[in-house]
Structure 1
Amino acid sequence: MLRLTCLLLSVLLPGCFLAPGMDMQTDNGFSEIELPTLKNGQLVKEKLPIQTISADLIIQRESARRQTVGTLPMANARSSYRIGPQDRLQITVWEHPELNDPGGEKINPDMAGKVVDDNGDLYFPYAGTLHVAGKTVPEVREELTRELSKYFKKVKLDIRVLSFQAHRVAVVGEVAHPGIVVMTETPLTVAEAISRAGGATKESDLNNVALARDGKLYRLDVQALYEKGLTAHNLLLRDGDVLNIGDQKDSKVYVMGEVGRQQAIQINKGRISLSQALAEAHGVDFNTSRPGDIYVLRAGDLQPEIFHLDAESPDAMILAEQFPLQAHDTLFVGTAGVTQWSRVLNQILPGSFTAIMSQAAMMGM
């Protein structure tokens, strides 16, 4: 048996093709296999460049992240509310009760006022049909006063919106009461819309809020507003916007390879660094791993990326702390060659390889 052990050692140790488990291979700085990538609207296959996690890379990507704020839609000015279809208006003409709602204050509130029709028109006695959609309350008051002045002297009237129905946004996802939120005279912001929908749930991911507008999708970081006071993502909403609050259950990173514990790690409040993920996985096993072979594999939305960190030097962990991971990233720590061979021999030799080598030592081999 011992002779067989020596023979197998002499045959297998020079090679590496029998080593079990995964091992990250590269091809002159590129991935070993071709991956599907979206380029210019077309899916192509290509080998990906492996990007070294360095100070330059972190500075470059942080600068790009801050510039993404400029790609958000321009915040519309805080203008007055503009009347639209299905809005209900209360019109009071002083000293002319016959023009006001019949029954006065005794009328059912649900039936009070006049409703703007689907064409944006409103009928009023003597004035006839007025097109009010898209106009502010002062503009409609001025127009109606002008029309009634043709029949009455010193017309004084007041207009207010009883029911706001024309302008709506949908708030869906992880909020207490998903549904339609109507826009009133007070401009509606992202944060206010979430609040009026009952607030975010415990499962919400406020770092991952999506705004759908005019056929485009924008990613918003509302958590930064709450924690850092950054208002760039607290946009004013428009009629027809759809706001989707993400679910943090889907925000995980996966740690594999030579770590203390391979697992899926939940991202807390949208933030986790490379060093935090390693710590959550009970650290790198320096007895069995190659600290110089730490990889972050990012599938992206058909825009995959591969990053490499050489952590042979302890100060590389500063870079790891400054490198943020994203949801669905895979963190892989390579296995040391001697560890791979130990596992090979434990699989192909009868009994424990360690026990066999101990027995050989006792027999003077």
Structure 2
Amino acid sequence: MALGTGWRCSGLIAVALGLSACNTLPRSGPDDKAIRENATLYFAAPKSEKPLLDYMLIDLTPDAISYFEQKPRQTLAAGFGASRRGPPSLPLGIGDIVEVSIFESAQGGLFVPADAGSRPGNFVTLPRQTIDTDGTLSVPYAGRVRASGRTPTAVQAEIEQRLADRAIEPQVVINLIESRSSQVSVLGDVNAPAKFEVTPGGDRILDVISRAGGISASGAETYISLQRNNTSATVLFDTLLERPSENIYVYPGDTIFANRERRTYLAFGASGLNGRIDFEESNLTLAEAVGKAGGLLDAAADPGQIFLYRLVDPEILARMGAPVTAKAGKGFPVIFRANLRDPSTYFLAQRFAMEDKDILYVSNADSVELLKVLNIISSTTQTVSGSTADVVLTRDATRAIRD
């Protein structure tokens, strides 16, 4: 290239760069310089060659991936120890509505008069009553009888004993009309949240969720929390289906909460699809996440530079021998790098599990960045230098790519 031609090219490039900052050119809004200069206060990042946040880079290798296998699933059976227990016994409790019937062996007794006539049986049924807040119910001539926390059989026996000297061979039957003390609550992402009575035969977690109309979201994204007294444990809904031992019996007073946690990851760079992508109903691996993001753009991506950003538990990194500590209680920043130019890395990517809120970044190939610069130079010099300059630029670009 002649000196005059080179000077003209450099001058035109300078003019083009100057015009790009001119306020007269089309723009969708203020540029970064105007925003900085007009800011009342500006909290600037410190000028340093180092990144703003320390992070760790881990290449995807068989040794590294062994520390990041699938996380162990949470368990209800271990949390409550109830997997080996049968259904709960259901004693009477405060608020229960009961009906008391008293039988006598002959007419003329305390409750069945002699002139009962065609009465169908020698018994009387007392009006329904609610077990009081003090846990008792009232029976004529027997007084206040403690019922809360006792089985109907035990309460029947005590009433019979109290009436033995007054009634003729009394027999007592207690019928539970409505159990308000043996209820469980089902809340959250179910179709019909409500309180349900625990049946005498026993109900498991899936039973009461079914009575609540089932969950309203994907089982792979819905977590089931069981609260009992001062203890709480959470398990994925799909785990209840896959592991019957986790489907434990519910007990009176339990609260079951279904909560959908939408799992997503972000995809950026030279992939076919950028943006927030849902896991949907499956657990994704890195290979599946790349495919779900549209794969790698053949004309732009560098298969050797696939990056995954994640906050990792410092304990895991410490086991790998890294001297790291937690960052603000949220884990340590880690970037995983996968070299998909190596055919064997695809097998590792198929084992590496994605986590909620991961960031997938596919880097551009070096040649793409070079071509961007050449396109700018070429568009500036095309009308001045002519074909001679284009030939020289093409020759230099070819050498750069080859080197």
1:22 corresponding residue in structure 2:
none
Which of 249, 253, 272 is the equivalent residue of 2:265?
A: 253
Shift in CA distance, 354/178, structure 1 to aligned 2, threshold 3 Å: farther
Distance change in 2, residues 1:309/1:235 (3 Å): farther
- Tell me the residue number matched to 2:28: none
Pairwise CA distance, 1:86: 0.9
Residue of structure 2 equivalent to 1:85: 94
Equivalent of 1:306 in 300, 313, 334: 334
Equivalent residue for 1:72? 79
Amino acid at match of 2:334: I
Mapped to 2, the partners of 1:129 and 1:221 lie a distance apart of: 47
CA contact (8 A) 2:219 2:236 kept: no
Q: CA deviation at 1:166?
A: 1.1
For the Cα contact (< 8 Å) 2:222–2:260, is it kept in 1? Answer: no
CA contact (8 A) 1:289 1:335 kept: yes
Aligned to 1:3, the other structure's residue is in SS state: helix
Give the conservation status (yes or no) of the 8 Å contact 1:288–1:339: yes
For 2:250 and 2:267, the matched residues in 1 are separated by 39
Aligned match of 2:303: 291
1:168-191 residue CA offsets vs partner (Å, 9 max, x unmatched): 332222211123233232323221
Give, in angstroms, the shift of residue 71 of structure 1: 5.0
Aligned equivalents of 1:79, 1:147: Cα separation in 2: 29
Q: 1:22-171 counterparts in 2 under 5 A?
A: 33-34=52-53, 47=54, 49-50=56-57, 52-55=59-62, 60-62=67-69, 65-66=72-73, 72-75=79-82, 77-95=86-104, 113-171=128-186
Q: Distance in 2 between matches of 1:319 and 1:5?
A: 53
1: CA distance, partners of 2:193 / 2:281: 21
Find the partner of 2:210 among 185, 190, 195. 195
Query: 1:222: how far off?
Result: 1.9
Aligned residue in 2 for 1:235: 248
User: Could you give the per-residue CA deviations for residues 71-130 of structure 1, whole angstroms, max 9, x where no partner exists?
Assistant: 532215423112211111222222389769xxx99xxxxx96321122322222222222
Partners in 2 of 1:234 and 1:4 — Cα distance? 79
Are the equivalent residues in 1 in contact too, given 2:93–2:149 (CA < 8 A)?
yes
* Among 379, 392, 397, the residue aligned to 1:351: 379
CA contact (8 A) 1:53 1:307 kept: no
Q: How do residues 221-232 of structure 1 correspond to structure 2 at under 5 angstroms?
A: 221-226=236-241, 228=242, 230-232=243-245
The CA distance in 1 between the partners of 2:381 and 2:293, in whole Å, is: 28
Counting only pairs closer than 5 Å after superposition, residues 320-331 of structure 1 correspond to structure 2 as 320-331=349-360
> 1:3 is matched with which residue?
6
Give 1 or 2 for the bigger CA radius of gyration.
Answer: 2
- Does the residue aligned with 1:133 lie in a helix, a strand or coil? coil
Letter of the 1:65 partner, please give it.
P
Q: So what's the TM-score if we normalise by structure 1? A: 0.70
Check conservation: 1:292, 1:312, Cα contact below 8 A.
Answer: yes
Secondary structure of the residue that 1:284 maps to in structure 2?
A: coil
- For the Cα contact (< 8 Å) 1:208–1:270, is it kept in 2? no
CA distance in structure 1 between the aligned counterparts of 2:253 and 2:131, rounded to whole angstroms:
19
Match of 2:197 among 182, 185, 194: 182
Q: Using the alignment, how far apart are the partners of 1:4 and 1:216 within structure 2?
A: 78
Return 250-259 or 329-338, whichever deviates more.
329-338
Distance 1:4 1:352 in 2: 13
What is the deviation of 1:327? 2.8
Are the counterparts in 1 of residues 219 and 237 from structure 2 also a CA contact under 8 Å? Answer: no
Tell me the secondary structure at the aligned position of residue 147 of structure 1: helix
SS of alignment partner, residue 101 of structure 2: strand
Q: Is the 8 A contact 1:275 1:320 kept in 2?
A: yes
The one of 265, 268, 278 equivalent to 1:266 is 278
Q: Secondary structure at the match of 2:209?
A: helix
Q: Deviations over 1:166-223 (max 9, x none)?
A: 1333222221112323323232322112111111225665542233444554221222
Query: Aligned equivalents of 2:57 and 2:176: distance in 1?
Result: 60
Q: State the Cα distance separating 1:64 from its structure 2 match.
A: 5.1
Q: Deviations over 1:20-59 (max 9, x none)?
A: xxxxxxxxxxx9554xxxxxxxxxxxx4545554545655
Checking the alignment, whether the CA contact within 8 Å between 1:290 and 1:335 is kept in structure 2 is: yes
- 8 Å contact 1:296–1:307 — kept in the other structure? yes
In 2, Cα distance between the equivalents of 1:214 and 1:5? 82
The DSSP-based 3-state class of the residue aligned with 1:158 is strand
1:280 alignment counterpart: 292
Q: CA deviation at 1:288?
A: 2.8
The CA deviation at 1:69 is: 6.2
Q: Tell me if the contact between 1:123 and 1:130 (Cα under 8 Å) persists in the aligned partners.
A: yes
Gaps of 5+ in 2: 12-49, 113-118, 121-125, 313-328, 396-403
- Measure how far apart 1:159 and its partner are: 2.2
CA distance in 2, matches of 1:131, 1:333: 72
SS of the aligned residue for 1:72 comes to helix
